[in-house]
Amino acid sequence: MSGLNQIFAVVHMNLRSLPQRLAMSAVIVIGIALVVTVLISVLSISTGLKHALTATGSPDRAIVLHAQATNEVGSTLPRDSVVTIEDAPGIAHGADGKAIASAEMVATVNVPRRDTGQLGALTLRGVSAQVLTLRPEIKLTDGRMFRSGVRELIAGRQAGERFRHLGVGSRILFGENEWSVVGTFEGGGAHDSELFADAETVLSAYQRTTVNSVTVKLDGTGGLAKLKNALSNDPTLSVVVSDEPAYYEQQSQTFAKFLRIVANIIAVIMAIGAVFAALNTMYSAVATRAVEIATLRAIGFGPVAMVLSVITEALLLALVGAAAGAALAWLLFNGNTVSTVGGGGGLAQVVFQLRIGAELVAVGIIWACVVGLIGGLLPAVRAARVPVATALRAI
């Protein structure tokens, strides 16, 4: 019998005998399933946040911050700088001849959570009256737009679903200022976790004279270069200009990297336990089949066939565990709404959905195969080295 046929024959016998070793095999499957479930669930936080922030940006918009700031919260721009920015070339203009731009101030407000009643942080964003023209993807789903000069706000859908007192008609107190909720909106990515109000009203309520950022609509494909060139050459300004996708990608990287590190550390710790479980199970399987293996060796089956049969069994069990773990993670976590504790991407709190897709499932399968390979390798070598004469004497 050729070497390839030997391998297929031994693997086939191994797989047929799996039901007889169901309890031992279940140890490997369950251990690997737990590793994959935890790994995928933690990584889904990273992918969910990244998607929420990435969906917020549009290549036809740019955000202007102070040159020394890395996000909106750490940026301050005086009013005269705002005027200079909005007069710069590269910015699209509306039918009224005004630049399509929004000088925005962000403030952190505390709102009771729906689930616990405890206060959680949200971003109150002061925006210009042109905000819906600047961000056409944002649509009012209920109520109306806020009015300038009045303490009215509209709430993002995600914020309204997670926090109390944000329905249309509600009144909510931020410090000593009472605000009326007059509308709800969606479609703004991470902005769906925010509250929008008139910028001048927000500045007055918080007794501030500076904004955090200026977001503008670019005038065609060359608009960003024109805007950057004009603002960088203006000696009265100290600003940095980024297109929105690049800005939000940068904001998501730090948090996403941290979560990936945490996920991998947890997975490594759990994988070590799964490897030992696989080693113990596969060693036991080899021991119980010592006579069978010796018999096969005696009638001419080579050691390579023995090694590959054991490794194939371990990998197969690992794949079953990976499938179970991925399915469990998807059922328990995919689509669940969670939020950052605060500070994610320069925002007080971002509410987003966990996302488990093919990429994370592939990561889980790779981890499972590595655990299965390590767990099956040493027992496979032992199977190939079973002394034929010693094993046959035990018959």
Mean confidence (pLDDT) of the chain? 83
Confidence of residue 343 (pLDDT cuts 50, 70, 90): very low
pLDDT of 344 reads 45
Three-state SS string across the chain, please?
CCHHHHHHHHHHHHHHCHHHHHHHHHHHHHHHHHHHHHHHHHHHHHHHHHHHHHCCCCCCEEEEEECCCCCCCCCCEEHHHHHHHHCCCCECECCCCCECEEEEEEEEEEEEECCCCCEEEEEEEEECCCHHHHCCCCEEEEECCCCCCCCEEEEEHHHHHHECCCCCCCEEEECCEEEEEEEEEECCHHHHHEEEEEHHHHHHHCCCCEECEEEEEECCCCHHHHHHHHHHCCCCCCEEEEEHHHHHHHHHHHHHHHHHHHHHHHHHHHHHHHHHHHHHHHHHHHHHCHHHHHHHHHCCCCHHHHHHHHHHHHHHHHHHHHHHHHHHHHHHHCCCEEECCCCHHHCCCCEEECCCCHHHHHHHHHHHHHHHHHHHHHHHHHHHCCCHHHHHHCC
Domain-wise residue ranges, the chain: 3-54+251-393, 69-237
Q: What is the pLDDT of residues 53-95, one digit of tens each?
A: 777 788 999 999 999 998 888 899 999 999 999 999 999 999 8
Which of 24-28, 122-126, 290-294, 372-376 holds the top average pLDDT?
122-126
Q: What is the pLDDT of residues 232-278, one digit of tens each?
A: 999 999 999 999 988 888 877 777 777 778 877 887 888 888 787 77
Q: What is the pLDDT of residues 290-312, one digit of tens each?
A: 666 666 666 666 667 677 777 77
